[in-house]
Amino acid sequence: MENGGGGGDVPKDANEHCPGTQSGDAGKAEACAGCPNQQICATAPKGPDPDLVAIVERMATVKHKILVLSGKGGVGKSTFSAQLSFALAEMDLQVGLLDIDICGPSIPKMLGLEGQDIHQSNLGWSPVYVESNLGVMSIGFMLPDPDDAVIWRGPRKNGLIKQFLKDVDWGEIDYLVVDAPPGTSDEHISIVQYLQATGIDGAIIVTTPQQVSLIDVRKEISFCKKVGVPILGVVENMSGLRQPLSDLRFVKPSEAGETDATEWALNYIREKAPELLSLVACSEVFDSSKGGAEKMCDQMKVPFLGKVPMDPQLCKAAEEGRSCFDDQKCSASAPALKSIVKKLIKTD
């Protein structure tokens, strides 16, 4: 028996007699009970959106649109979005970075743009520029105090996302990187709905190696498949700690506490085994004994883009709002990030 009551698109895994995702009864009808899509359908905007035409026109000057997602917070998604944008800009491409993490906008900090304001012209809102070919837009630029909490319900968040897409004048750019909040909330449904009409390249999903993170990433992958967003690949971030031996700090523990032994240890190594100073110390921070993101990608039939190690120098670059590619300090993470960017460019 066929699904649907003529109310709009019907997901493949929908219940019998599904009213359609665009119906006013979507997620609320009796037939929706127990459907895996019920919550998404119930909260998604319904019917034709009059602003969609304006969004399509604005996005017509953007060649590629990439979503950066994560199932769980704290996995380094925004750090990845920032460094991906830096890397694309370094390739002489025109790049825009849109931060739709409404409640936790960290992109201004990670690009060294704290305290900047948004300016308006007759063409719309102007992005804040890091370089002439890297523009940024974030709610972080609108807060009078960076410590202010954004306590908004879904409709207001969705309204701002729509305004970002409709009113920001990016100009002719090659890539728009969209840094989304973790999870699968209203913001994700809105950005997907608006961008699908303009042509979206797909999503990059960022995770850490342990099962606690991968459990939620599986949900993110499921979300993308249900709403029809192509998955460009999964990045395993914080994939083991890698740090030059010379950058390590050494302590000597005792019953009274611990004392710093860094200077003694490094002097000892220089005297007795100086060749060790060229080595990189590696350590597994998170449990990856079950195969990590790479095995999960194989099981779920999605591309695996690569691993980025936990690099204290990368953390420092993010704190200082600069690119990790500007110098040789991020020797552990920068090559891994560049390899992932090359795969993405090749995919596009």
Residue 4, in any domain of the structure: no
Residues 6+ apart with CB under 8 A from 172: 61, 94
Q: What is the pLDDT of residues 272-287, one digit of tens each?
A: 999 999 998 999 988 8
Residue 13, in any domain of the structure: no
Q: Are residues 130 and 266 both part of a single domain?
A: no
Q: Are residues 189 and 249 both part of a single domain?
A: no
Residues 6+ apart with CB under 8 A from 208: 72, 75, 76, 236, 237, 238, 239, 286
Cα angle for residues 127, 346, 233 (degrees, 5° grid): 80
35 labeled binding residue: yes
Residue 22, token pair as written in the block: 């665009």
Q: Are residues 234 and 269 both part of a single domain?
A: no
166 labeled binding residue: no
240 labeled binding residue: no
For residues 57-85, give the mean pLDDT: 95
What pLDDT shows up at residue 289?
Answer: 78
- The structural domain count of the chain equals 2
Q: Are residues 95 and 217 both part of a single domain?
A: yes
Q: Are residues 159 and 266 both part of a single domain?
A: no
Q: Are residues 123 and 252 both part of a single domain?
A: no
What pLDDT shows up at residue 92?
Answer: 95
135 labeled binding residue: no
Domain with residue 326: its CATH number is: 3.40.50.300
112 labeled binding residue: no
285 labeled binding residue: no
CB atoms under 10 Å from CB of 284, counted, come to 13
With H, G, I as helix, E, B as strand and everything else as coil, classify residue 62.
strand
Q: Are residues 220 and 276 both part of a single domain?
A: no
330 labeled binding residue: no
Q: What is the pLDDT of residues 219-270, one digit of tens each?
A: 999 999 999 999 999 999 999 999 999 999 999 999 989 999 999 999 999 9
- Asked if 173 and 62 touch (Cβ cutoff 8 Å), the reply is yes
For residues 63-67, give the mean pLDDT: 96
User: Which residues make beta-bridge pairs with 205?
Assistant: 69, 234
For residues 296-304, give the mean pLDDT: 96
At residue 288, φ and ψ (nearest 5 deg) are: -120, 25
177 labeled binding residue: no
Q: Quick one: DSSP state of residue 241?
A: E
With H, G, I as helix, E, B as strand and everything else as coil, classify residue 123.
coil
The share of the chain scoring above pLDDT 70, in percent, equals 95
Q: Are residues 223 and 123 both part of a single domain?
A: yes
Q: Are residues 143 and 264 both part of a single domain?
A: no
78 labeled binding residue: yes
With H, G, I as helix, E, B as strand and everything else as coil, classify residue 99.
strand
For residues 99-114, give the mean pLDDT: 93
34 labeled binding residue: no
Residue 247, in any domain of the structure: yes
Q: Are residues 299 and 175 both part of a single domain?
A: yes
282 labeled binding residue: no
Q: Domain residues for 183?
A: 51-240+286-344
Whether 35 has a pLDDT exceeding 50, the answer reads yes
Q: Are residues 274 and 181 both part of a single domain?
A: no
User: Highest mean pLDDT range out of 35-39, 95-99, 245-249, 328-332?
Assistant: 95-99
Confidence class for position 1, pLDDT limits 50, 70, 90: very low
72 labeled binding residue: yes
